[in-house]
Amino acid sequence: MQVEGKSQKLLRIHRADNVLIVVRSVKPGDREVIDGHDVVFTQAIAIGHKVAARDIHAGEKVYKCGVPIGSAKEKVPAGGHIHLHNLKSDYIATYTLDKDHVFVK
Amino acid sequence: MSSSSEAPALQGFLRADGRKGIRNCIVVAYLVECAHHVAREIAGSFRGQPVHLIGFGGCYPNAYADRMMNKLCTHPNVGGALLLSLGCESFNRHRLAENIAKTGRPVATVVIQQTGGTKKSISAGKAWIEQALQEIAEVPRAPLRVNELVVGTVCGGSDATSGVSANPAVGRAFDMLVKQGAAAIFEETGEMIGLEDVMSARAVTPELGQQLKSSVEKAAYYYKEMGHASFAPGNAEGGLTTIEEKSIGAYCKSGDSPISGLIKPGDVPHKGGLYLLDVVPDGEPRFGFPNINDNAEIAELIACGSHVILFTTGRGSVVGSAISPVIKICANPETYERMSDDMDINAGKILQLEASVDEVGEEIYDKVLDVASGMQSCSESLGHQEFVLTYKAFEPIGPACLPV
């Protein structure tokens, strides 16, 4: 496992991955170097969440631990937060609670 | 590593069938919800003593629930059983009592309608347990080796840290246990979705590989019919996005050993190795979700003989179980800080780069031996004894599932 940049906030689990794991929470304005590119975060991202390791195209498979975990619903720029809004399962849709605590797909 | 070639000298409770337990408890088992209160009142009056409440709430017969209750009441950690019947339910209390008696364990059945109602049944049950506790104190002890242990693993309240820290560390502990000859069981085929090919390649025979793959396909179909994957809102809040992503994390708990067999609830591995427990019912989906919560899975792991359960959590689950101790391995360092009283192992330090996956794996292995030698796990000392059993339907496993 290799930590990107010097701040030890992002972790690449597998070399084939196009996402990195946040291991220390990210705040808006934090800067990270991802694959040689300077990225400034515009939002807070919690520990355990994923960010794009490079630009990911709409429809492209997203890889974590070297295994596909679904397909991108839209283009995600390097450093962008990857979650329910832009990644979908290739098997069974994910249901969860929205910000108003309503169960949604 | 504390466990070198010299196997640690544990002392087990020797049962008549030759199996050995790491605990010696009396189970109070209600055979229908109508007997639940009486059973709870009896068990509750022995707080702090090894008296655990289990039961099945349904009034209609179910072969799976019957088998589960028979396996649980004759689990090596169980020294004796008190059965609580209302009197008119379908559960075959006669056969259950006979099966328990055949294993040499003390057993009694209180039929509430025959005994004269709530008060008399509670007092009859308490009197029997007083005497049964004295009787099981005489159970012989015998050396217990690591290769006689059965260890199950489950994850619950997962977040995206689970698959990066706690689950891989349990995988290392599983590798160490399997190497020492123990039986290690992982489960939830609904959380292997997306990994069917990767997993089947680890089977000891191609035929078993095909069975493993089919079990995951069955799970994918079953959960699609339910309209919902094995995925809770807290999983998403914790950073998990899809069932495939959750699967990878869950799958890491299995470690790197070859997969020796595929078992179903109640099948006890007869030798060491790594086993997948298929928890998804056979046939057309009936009775609802495969397992309604984490404790339903824990009960199945215990019915397969698990002496101890390794439970990984990122969001922070607090549950324990009746019969077998549950060891909590916390994946998320922030959760650990908030809930450390409930956590046996802090795997979150892997994320903070303060320990390696191997080091935490060794810590888990050592904790298994400590708990097997009598030390209480956190959930055990806090009095957690959750238990749930619902309706399910299974076909028996075929010969390809347990290659010699």
* Strand A87-88 relative to strand A67-72, pairing: antiparallel
- Look up residue A12 and give its two tokens: 């690449």
Tally DSSP H helices, then E strands, for chain A: 0, 12
* Residue A2 confidence (pLDDT): 45
* Residue A32 confidence (pLDDT): 87
Indicate the pLDDT class of residue B7, thresholds 50, 70 and 90. low
3-state DSSP assignment of residue A49? coil
pLDDT in tens, chain A (105 residues): 444 444 478 888 888 899 999 988 899 999 888 878 888 898 999 988 999 999 999 999 999 988 899 999 999 999 999 999 999 998 888 877 776 767 666
Write down the ipTM of this complex.
0.84
Contact B160 A82 (CB under 8 A): no
Could you report the per-residue pLDDT of B126-168, keeping only the tens digit for each? 999 999 999 999 999 999 999 999 999 999 988 888 888 999 9
Contact A91 B229 (CB under 8 A): yes
Dihedral sign for Cα atoms in the order B222, B226, B228, B232? negative
- Look up residue B333 and give its two tokens: 């360092």
Indicate the pLDDT class of residue B212, thresholds 50, 70 and 90. very high
Could you report the per-residue pLDDT of B191-209, keeping only the tens digit for each? 888 888 889 999 999 999 9
* Residue A103 confidence (pLDDT): 64
Separation CA A1–CA A51 (nearest Å):
16
Would an 8 Å CB–CB cutoff place B237 in contact with chain A? yes
Contact A23 B352 (CB under 8 A): yes
How many alpha carbons fall within 13 Å on the CB side of residue B265?
A: 28
Chain B residues with beta carbon closer than 8 angstroms to that of A92: 193, 220, 223-224, 228-229, 243
Secondary structure letter of residue B305 according to DSSP: T
User: Average pLDDT, stretch B292-308?
Assistant: 97
Q: For residues B235 and B320, which has the higher predicted lDDT (pLDDT)?
A: B320
Q: How many angstroms separate the CA of residue B71 from the nearest CA in chain A?
A: 34
Burial B88-105 (b: 16+ CB within 10 A, else e): ebebebeebbebbeebeb
Say whether pLDDT at B309 is over 60.
Answer: yes
Indicate the pLDDT class of residue B230, thresholds 50, 70 and 90. confident
Chain B residues with beta carbon closer than 8 angstroms to that of A68: 194, 244
Contact A49 B239 (CB under 8 A): yes
* Residue B8 confidence (pLDDT): 54
* Residue B100 confidence (pLDDT): 98
Could you report the per-residue pLDDT of B234-264, keeping only the tens digit for each? 888 888 899 888 888 889 899 999 999 999 9
Could you report the per-residue pLDDT of B18-52, keeping only the tens digit for each? 999 999 999 999 999 999 999 999 999 999 999 99
* Residue B235 confidence (pLDDT): 84
Chain A residues with beta carbon closer than 8 angstroms to that of B352: 23-24
Chain A residues with beta carbon closer than 8 angstroms to that of B229: 89, 91-94
